[in-house]
C-alpha cells in the first residue's frame, strides 16, 4: 500500500511534475467503499471513504459536508429531467424559499475527523452542487431559459442567492487544516455547447466562481473545477479569469483527454479523464494500456493525475477500474 503524500496533488495543481504517478477521482460508490474498507455501517461512511482512498493509493479523500439547498422531491430514477418539480417559479416563491445559512450548518466533522486521517493525506471538499446546478435544480432548466428573457432581475436574484451561500460554504471549509484543496462542482454543458450561452454564463454564473476561487486562494488552498459538458467557449474564462487550478470531467465524445492535455498543459492541471464509457466497454487490458500511455504522455511535463473522466458509479466493472489504477502502481 502506497503511503499518502498530498504534496503530489499540490505539485500537479501547480502545473508541475509530481514525485510519482498520482491518482485522482471525484467519488466512487457505496459498494466499492464497503468492499475495499470492510466497513458496512452507513453511519461510518466517512471512515469507509478514507480507508478506501488510502488502500487504493490516493493521496487524499473527497469529503462531503452537510450544507445543502432544499428542493422539492424528485423521482429516484436512474435519470431525472432537468425540469422536474421546480421549487422556485416567481418572486413570491423566491422570497418564501427557506434559504440556508452555511454558518448554521455543522462543519465540525472536518476537525473531528483529523485523528482518522492517515499521515500525509488531506481532505478535498466539494460543494453541494454548484451555482448553475443548484439554480437549475430550484427553477428547472426550461423555466430558467424563459426567465432570462422574461424576468432577468429575478434570475439574477436567484443566482446571487445561491452563489453567495456557496461562497460562504467554501470560505468556511477552506479554513480547516484538514482540508488540502476544494472542488467547485458545477456542470455547465451539454455535449455540443454550454447550457447557457457564454454571455449569460459571464453575467450570472462566472462572477460567483471568481469569488469562490479567490476565497480558496486567499486561504492558501487550490481549487478544482469539476464540470461536465463542452466548455470550449469558456476555457479562457476558466483558466485566466476564474483562475481554477485544475479541471476535471472529460468525455471522448467531446474531446479525449489526450487532446485536452495537449491543449491545456501549462495552463491548468488536467485531472482524470479516462472516458467512463471507454472504461465500461473495454477490456481490462485496453483500460490499462490507455492509462499507461496517458501517464507516459504526461511523465515529463506533469500537471496530470490519472483517473476516470467523471466518477466510478456501481455499473463500472470493478476489474476495469482496478486495471486503470494499477497503471499508476506499475509506473
Q: What is the pLDDT of residues 188-239, one digit of tens each?
A: 999 999 999 999 999 999 999 999 999 999 999 999 999 999 999 999 999 9
- CA neighbor of 227 nearest in space, from 207, 211, 206: 206
Look up the pTM and report it.
Answer: 0.96
Q: What is the largest CA-CA distance in the chain?
A: 59
Place of cell 454571455: 199
> If one looks up domain 7-70+92-329 in CATH, what number appears?
3.20.20.210
Contacts of 155-158 spanning 24+ positions with Cβ under 8 A: 155/204, 156/203, 156/204, 157/94, 158/88, 158/94
Confidence tier at 84 by pLDDT (50, 70, 90):
confident
- Measured in degrees and rounded to the nearest 5, phi and psi for residue 326 equal -70, -20
- CA neighbor of 258 nearest in space, from 276, 270, 267: 270
pLDDT of amino acid 78:
62
DSSP 204: I
Confidence tier at 75 by pLDDT (50, 70, 90):
low
Look at residue 79 and tell me whether its pLDDT is greater than 80: no
- CA neighbor of 14 nearest in space, from 221, 182, 170, 186: 221
Q: Which residues pair with 270 in a beta bridge?
A: 247, 304
Other C-beta atoms within 10 Å of 10: how many? Answer: 18
Look at residue 303 and tell me whether its pLDDT is greater than 90: yes
C-alpha grid cell, residue 20: 510519482
CA distance 260 to 271: 11
CA-to-CA separations, 176 to 108, 127, 164, 172, 197, in angstroms, rounded: 9, 15, 20, 8, 36
Per the CB < 8 A criterion, the answer to whether 37 and 47 are in contact is yes
Place of cell 481554477: 244
DSSP string, 99-149: ---GGGS--THHHHTGGGSPTT-EEEEE-SS-HHHHHHHHH-HHHHHHHHH
C-alpha grid cell, residue 242: 476564474
Q: What is the mean pLDDT of residues 57-82?
A: 84
Amino acid at each position: 500500500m502506497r503511503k499518502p503524500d498530498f504534496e503530489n496533488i499540490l505539485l500537479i495543481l501547480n502545473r508541475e511534475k509530481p514525485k510519482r504517478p498520482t491518482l485522482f477521482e471525484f467519488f466512487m460508490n457505496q459498494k466499492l467503499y464497503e468492499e475495499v474498507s470492510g466497513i458496512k455501517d452507513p453511519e461510518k461512511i466517512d471512515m469507509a471513504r478514507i480507508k478506501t482512498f488510502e488502500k487504493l493509493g490516493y493521496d487524499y479523500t473527497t469529503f462531503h459536508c452537510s450544507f445543502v439547498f432544499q428542493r422539492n422531491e424528485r423521482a429516484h430514477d436512474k435519470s431525472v429531467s432537468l425540469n422536474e418539480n421546480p421549487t422556485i417559479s416567481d418572486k413570491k416563491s423566491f422570497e418564501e424559499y427557506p434559504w440556508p445559512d452555511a454558518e448554521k450548518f455543522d462543519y465540525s466533522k472536518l476537525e473531528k475527523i483529523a485523528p482518522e486521517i492517515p499521515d500525509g493525506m488531506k481532505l478535498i471538499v466539494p460543494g453541494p452542487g454548484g451555482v448553475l446546478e443548484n439554480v437549475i435544480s430550484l427553477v428547472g432548466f426550461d423555466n430558467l431559459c424563459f426567465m432570462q428573457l422574461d424576468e432577468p432581475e429575478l434570475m439574477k436574484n436567484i443566482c446571487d442567492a445561491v452563489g453567495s451561500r456557496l461562497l460562504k460554504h467554501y470560505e468556511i471549509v477552506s479554513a480547516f487544516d484538514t482540508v488540502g484543496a476544494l472542488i467547485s462542482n458545477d456542470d455547465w454543458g451539454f455535449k455540443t455547447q454550454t447550457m447557457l450561452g457564454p454571455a449569460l454564463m459571464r453575467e450570472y454564473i462566472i462572477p460567483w466562481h471568481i469569488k469562490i476561487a479567490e476565497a480558496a486562494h486567499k486561504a492558501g488552498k487550490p481549487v478544482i473545477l469539476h464540470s461536465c459538458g463542452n466548455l470550449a467557449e469558456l476555457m479562457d474564462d476558466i483558466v485566466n479569469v476564474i483562475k481554477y487550478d485544475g479541471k476535471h470531467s472529460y468525455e471522448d465524445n467531446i474531446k479525449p483527454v489526450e487532446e485536452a492535455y495537449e491543449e491545456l498543459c501549462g495552463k491548468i492541471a488536467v485531472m482524470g479523464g479516462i472516458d467512463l464509457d471507454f472504461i465500461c466497454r473495454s477490456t481490462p487490458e485496453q483500460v490499462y494500456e490507455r492509462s499507461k500511455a496517458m501517464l507516459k504522455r504526461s511523465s515529463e511535463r506533469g500537471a496530470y493525475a490519472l483517473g476516470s473522466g467523471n466518477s466510478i458509479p456501481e455499473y463500472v466493472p470493478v476489474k476495469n477500474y482496478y486495471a486503470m489504477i494499477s497503471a499508476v502502481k506499475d509506473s
